[in-house]
Amino acid sequence: MSVPSLVEQPAPLLLPRICDDSFLRHLRSTEHHVVRKLCKHYEAMVSGYERKAYNFRQFIVEFFNPEEFGAFQELQRRTGSVVGDALAKQFLCRSTAGNTMTVFCYLARAIEVVQWLHTIGYCYGEFNRDYSSVLEDITNKKNEGAIDVFPPLSERSWQFHRRGLRNRGHDCVIVLVGSFQGPVWDILQSQDSTSRLNLITHEKAYSLYPKSTLGISSNYIVRSVNAGLPHSGVRQYVRWLMDHSTSESQMLLPSGRDAMTFNGPYSVLCYRSFTDRYSRVLPIQSTQAAGTDDIGLNSFHVSYGPRWLAINFVVTSAGDSCIKYCLPVSVSQAVARQSLVRVTSRRSFQSIIQEELSRRKMRLSTFVFKAYLTVGTILRQCTSALTNSGAETPFLDAYSAERLFLLLHGIHREVAGIYLTKVSFERDSMDRRWVYLAFCIILFVGQSPSMLCKYNRKLDELFQDRILVLWDERVDVFNGIVDAGRSRDRSPYWRKDQKDRKAKAFVRSDPFPNLSSTPQSATVRKEQETVLQTLNSDFFYRCSDTAPPGGILKDLGEGWGV
C-alpha cells in the first residue's frame, strides 16, 4: 500500500557562518538543495572545514594540555560523561570559551572523575578544601539515591579550580554534576532555554536546537518537565460535557482565551509550542570508528523536545514464527549477524535478542508490538488527513506519539486487549487542530474499570497536546465481549475457571503474544498487515520532520542508552 507523501522539504545546509557567505548567502533553500546534490566534492569540503573550525582540543586549551585532553576524552568514553551548559553553546557558536566547564557524569562514576581531576592538579573549592570530603559527599549522595531520595542538582555539584594554562591571571573552574538518571537527562532538566540544550561527548557535539543556538531563530524559554497541570481531571470534565451536551452548537473544546493561557488547565502553550526542525551533529574525532558514541548510537536522529530523544526502530520477525519485535537499529543489526550462526550454536532467535538487549541494559518488555502497531495506525491516518487538508504541520509529532505509545503500552499490559475504533479531527474556535481517538478496552472478568484511573495524568498531558483520548470498556467472557456494566450470574466452577484464566494472562512469560493466535476479526488482521507494510516503509521521513522512520520513542527519564 502506497502512503501519500507530503512535499519533501530540501535538506538544510547546516554550514559554518564564515567561509560559505561568499556565495551561499545569496541562494534560496531550494538552490541549496541543488548545490548539495550536484557538487560531489561539497560534503567533503564542508566536513573538512568543520574539522578545522570546530577543534575541541584547541577550544579547551585553558583547561587541559594536549596530554590531559586525550585522557579527558578517554575518561568521557569510559564513564559516559558529557560537557554541557554554557561551554557547549560557546563551542557550537564558535565564540570565545569561558572559564567554567560543566561536566555531567553518572553519580556512580563521579569518584573516578574526581580522582582524575585531583591527579592533574585541580583542587576542590576556591580555598583548596579537603579532597576526602568530596569522596565522602559523593558516597552519601549515592546512598540517598539507593533509597529513592534524589537531592536537587545544586546539592550534587562540586567545583574544582586550577590556574589557567594560558592566562595565569584567572582560574579555570570545572563543575562536576553527579546524575542519577543520566547526564543528558540532567542537561535537559537544568537548562532554561532552547539555545542552551547542547552537549559534547568524547566523540561528537550535539545541538538539539541548532537554529536557536546559532542565533538564527528565536530562543524560547523551556519550562521544567516536572511541572504538571495546575488542575486535574481535564479529560473527565470534557467527557462529561460531551455526554451531557444538549446543543449541537455548544463548543466542547476550550475557548481561545483558555487555550492561550500559559499555565492554565486547558493551555496548549507548553514547551512543545515551538519547533526547531534540524539537528546539528559535529564530529570531534573523525579518526575513531563510527558508533562508539553511546548517545549517537542509541538516540539519533534527534527529534526535538526538552526531555526526549528519538530512537529509530525496526520491525523484526522472530525466525520462522509470527512473533514480531520492535528493535532499535543497532540491536536489529547485531541480531541479524548473530542469527547467521544460530544453527551451529544451537541458540534460539529469542535468546539472541535477549542477549543483545541485556548487553545494552534494555528491557525486553519495552518492545510491545501491539502498542507500536496501534500508534502506527494513528500516525498513518493523521498523515492521510494531513495530506488531504494541504496543511504543513503534522497532527501528531514525535513527542505526542511517545506519550501515546507509553499510555497504550501501560494499558495493554494490564487488560485483555485494547483496540482502536476511531480517529477523527476537529478545529476549535482558534482554528487549532484537535485529534480525537476512541478505543475499546477489553477487561478481564472481575477486573474493575477504576484501575484505568491511574492513567489520567497521561491523558491530561495528551489533552494539553490537543489529543483527546476516549474509550469504552468491555469484558472478555470466553473470547466473547459483553458490556462492563452487565450483571453476571455464573456457577462457582465458572468463576474458578475465569480466575485461573485471568492469573495466566497476567503472569504471561512471553511479553510478545503470537499475533496470529490472538482472537480478532479479519478486518483487524488485515489492518495490522497494512500497518506493518507502512511501518517498514520510509513514510515517517516524508510525513514529519520530527518523526524518525518507524520511530517509537523512549523517554530519557527511564535511562535508556544515556
Contact 457, 228 (CB under 8 A): yes
Neighbours of 311 (CB within 10 A): 21
Q: Is the pLDDT of residue 163 over 50?
A: yes
Last residue of a domain, one of 367, 384, 404: 367
pLDDT band of 209, cuts 50, 70, 90: confident
Residues 157 and 39 in one domain: no
Specify the length of the chain in residues: 562
| Average pLDDT, rounded, for the chain | 64
For residue 420, give its domain range: 368-558
pLDDT band of 47, cuts 50, 70, 90: low
pLDDT tens-digit profile of 53-89?
788 888 898 899 888 999 999 999 888 899 998 999 9
DSSP structure class, residue 378:
H
pLDDT tens-digit profile of 285-339?
655 554 566 565 444 333 333 333 333 455 555 555 445 555 666 677 777 777 6
Q: Rounded to whole angstroms, how far apart are CA atoms 291 and 380?
A: 31
Q: Which three cell numbers stand for residue 258?
A: 483558555
Contact 160, 124 (CB under 8 A): yes
Least confident of 146-155, 229-238, 550-559: 550-559
pLDDT top residue among 285 and 445: 445
Least confident of 57-66, 281-290, 428-437, 465-474: 281-290
DSSP bridge partners of 470: 438
**Which is nearest to 229 in space by CA: 262, 202, 251?**
262
Q: Which three cell numbers stand for residue 344?
A: 551451529
**Which is nearest to 366 in space by CA: 105, 555, 97?**
555
pLDDT band of 39, cuts 50, 70, 90: low
Residues 326 and 430 in one domain: no
Q: Tell me, yes or no, whether 2 lies in a domain.
A: no
Spacing of C-alpha 174 from chain mean position: 29
pLDDT band of 459, cuts 50, 70, 90: confident
**Which is nearest to 187 in space by CA: 285, 90, 309?**
309
Neighbours of 513 (CB within 10 A): 14
pLDDT band of 93, cuts 50, 70, 90: confident
Residue 73 to residues 65, 105, 120, 166, 292: CA-CA distances in angstroms? Answer: 12, 13, 14, 20, 12
Residues 422 and 341 in one domain: no
Spacing of C-alpha 17 from chain mean position: 30
Q: Tell me, yes or no, whether 284 lies in a domain.
A: no
Q: Is the pLDDT of residue 242 over 60?
A: no
Q: Is the pLDDT of residue 97 over 70?
A: yes
Q: Is the pLDDT of residue 248 over 60?
A: no
Neighbours of 533 (CB within 10 A): 13
pLDDT top residue among 240 and 109: 109
Report the pLDDT value the prediction gives residue 368, as an integer from 0 to 100. 53
Q: Which element (helix H / strand E) includes 534?
A: helix 522-535
Report the pLDDT value the prediction gives residue 136, as an integer from 0 to 100. 87
Residues 28 and 167 in one domain: no
Q: Which three cell numbers stand for residue 303?
A: 527529534
Q: Rounded to whole angstroms, how far apart are CA atoms 332 and 316?
A: 7
Q: Which three cell numbers stand for residue 294?
A: 553511546
Residues 26 and 152 in one domain: no
Report the pLDDT value the prediction gives residue 12, as an integer from 0 to 100. 36
Residue 207 has phi, psi (to 5 degrees) of -120, 115
pLDDT tens-digit profile of 479-511?
444 444 333 333 333 344 444 444 333 333 332
Residue 420 has phi, psi (to 5 degrees) of -80, 125
* Distant-in-sequence, close-in-space partners of 372: CB < 8 Å, separation ≥ 6: 313, 315, 326, 405, 535, 552
Quick check: pTM over 0.85?
A: no
Neighbours of 70 (CB within 10 A): 12
Residues 422 and 494 in one domain: yes
Q: Tell me, yes or no, whether 266 lies in a domain.
A: no
Percentage of residues of the chain with pLDDT beyond 90: 8
Report the pLDDT value the prediction gives residue 553, as an integer from 0 to 100. 30
Q: Tell me, yes or no, whether 454 lies in a domain.
A: yes
Q: Rounded to whole angstroms, how far apart are CA atoms 297 and 283?
A: 14
Residues 25 and 61 in one domain: no
Q: Is the pLDDT of residue 403 over 90?
A: no
Residues 436 and 541 in one domain: yes
Residue type at 78? R
Residues 76 and 62 in one domain: yes
Q: Tell me, yes or no, whether 291 lies in a domain.
A: no
Residue type at 163? R
Q: Rounded to whole angstroms, how far apart are CA atoms 203 and 196?
A: 19
Residue type at 395? F
**Which range is most confident: 15-19, 53-57, 146-150?**
53-57
Residues 396 and 363 in one domain: no
Q: Rounded to whole angstroms, how far apart are CA atoms 331 and 316?
A: 10
DSSP bridge partners of 221: 193
Report the pLDDT value the prediction gives residue 104, as an integer from 0 to 100. 94
Q: Rounded to whole angstroms, how far apart are CA atoms 393 and 461?
A: 20
Contact 551, 310 (CB under 8 A): yes
Identify the three-state secondary structure at position 82.
strand
Query: Distance from first CA to last CA of the chain, Å, rounded?
Result: 37
Residues 417 and 435 in one domain: yes
Residue 7 has phi, psi (to 5 degrees) of -70, 120
Q: Tell me, yes or no, whether 99 lies in a domain.
A: yes
The stretch 443-453 carries a mean pLDDT of: 82
Total tally of structural domains belonging to the chain: 4
Q: Rounded to whole angstroms, how far apart are CA atoms 11 and 471?
A: 40
DSSP structure class, residue 44:
H
Report the pLDDT value the prediction gives residue 184, as an integer from 0 to 100. 79
Q: Tell me, yes or no, whether 84 lies in a domain.
A: yes
Upper half-sphere CA count for residue 485 (Cβ side, 13 Å): 1
Report the pLDDT value the prediction gives residue 192, as an integer from 0 to 100. 77
Residues 435 and 344 in one domain: no
The stretch 439-443 carries a mean pLDDT of: 87
Report the pLDDT value the prediction gives residue 159, as an integer from 0 to 100. 92
Report the pLDDT value the prediction gives residue 173, as an integer from 0 to 100. 92
* Distant-in-sequence, close-in-space partners of 257: CB < 8 Å, separation ≥ 6: none
Q: Tell me, yes or no, whether 255 lies in a domain.
A: no
